[in-house]
A and B are shown apart, each in its own frame.
Chain A
Amino acid sequence: MSATRIDCDICIVGGGPAGLSAALAAAKAGATVHLLDLFERPGGQYFMQPAAGAHGPARRQIAAGGRLIAAARAAGVTVHENAEVFGAYADPVIYARVGESALTLRPKAVVIATGAHDRVAPFPGWTLPGVMTPGAGQRLAKLHGTLPGRRVVLAGCGPFLMVVAGQLRAAGCDVLRVVEATPSPRALLAGIARHPARWGEALRLLTPVAPLAGRFRFGAVVTAAAGDDHVRSVTIARLGADGLPDERARETIADVDALLVGHGFRPSIEVPRLLGCAIDFDQDAGGHHLRIDRATGATSVPGIFAAGEVTGVAGARPALAAGTIAGLAAARHAGFAAGKGDERALARALDFALMLRRAYRVPYRALGRLPRPETVLCRCEEIDAATVAAAHADGARDAAGIKLWTRAGMGPCQGRGCGFGLGLQLAETAGLDPAAFGANPSRFPARPVPLSVVADALAAGEDGA
Chain B
Amino acid sequence: MSDITIDGETVAATAGDNLGALLHRLGDARLRATLSGAPRGLFCGMGTCFDCVVLVDGKPARACLTAIRPGMVVERQGGQP
Which residues of A are in contact with B by a Cβ distance under 8 Å? 38-40, 45, 51, 82, 84, 117-118, 127-133, 135-137, 139-140, 143-146, 148-149, 229-231, 257-258, 268, 376, 379-380, 382, 411-413, 416-417, 448, 450
In contact, B50 and A229 (Cβ under 8 angstroms): no
A-B contact sample (14 more), CB < 8 A, given A131-B43, A146-B21: A39-B47, A129-B29, A129-B30, A136-B45, A136-B64, A139-B64, A140-B24, A143-B18, A229-B39, A230-B28, A230-B30, A412-B53, A413-B49, A448-B60
Could you tell me the distance between the alpha carbons of A450 and B61 in the complex, rounded to whole angstroms?
11
Could you tell me the distance between the alpha carbons of A112 and B36 in the complex, rounded to whole angstroms?
38
In the complex, the chain A residue whose C-beta lies closest to that of B35 is: A382
In the complex, the chain A residue whose C-beta lies closest to that of B51 is: A379
In contact, B29 and A230 (Cβ under 8 angstroms): yes
Which residues of B are in contact with A by a Cβ distance under 8 Å? 16-18, 20-21, 24-25, 27-31, 34-36, 38-51, 53, 59-60, 64-65, 67
In contact, B21 and A133 (Cβ under 8 angstroms): no
Closest beta carbon of chain B to A237's beta carbon, Å = 23
Could you tell me the distance between the alpha carbons of A231 and B44 in the complex, rounded to whole angstroms?
16
In the assembled complex, which residues on chain B have CB atoms less than 8 Å from the CB atom of A380?
Answer: 49-50
Can you offer 23 A-B residue contacts whose CB atoms are under 8 A? A38-B65, A82-B65, A129-B41, A130-B29, A132-B41, A133-B45, A135-B46, A136-B44, A136-B45, A137-B45, A139-B46, A140-B45, A149-B29, A229-B39, A230-B39, A230-B41, A268-B48, A382-B34, A411-B50, A412-B53, A413-B50, A416-B48, A417-B49
Q: Given A144-B18, A411-B50, A412-B50 in contact, is the A129-B45 Cβ separation under 8 Å?
A: no
Could you tell me the distance between the alpha carbons of A231 and B43 in the complex, rounded to whole angstroms?
13
Most buried by A among B46, B53, B60: B46
In the assembled complex, which residues on chain A have CB atoms less than 8 Å from the CB atom of B44?
Answer: 117-118, 132-133, 135-136, 417
- The B interface, classified by DSSP as helix, strand, loop or mixed, is loop
In the assembled complex, which residues on chain B have CB atoms less than 8 Å from the CB atom of A382?
Answer: 34-36, 38
In the assembled complex, which residues on chain A have CB atoms less than 8 Å from the CB atom of B53?
Answer: 412
Question: Which of A144, A148, A417 contacts B17 (CB under 8 A)?
Answer: A144
Q: Given A140-B24, A416-B48 in contact, is the A127-B18 Cβ separation under 8 Å?
A: no
In contact, A117 and B29 (Cβ under 8 angstroms): no
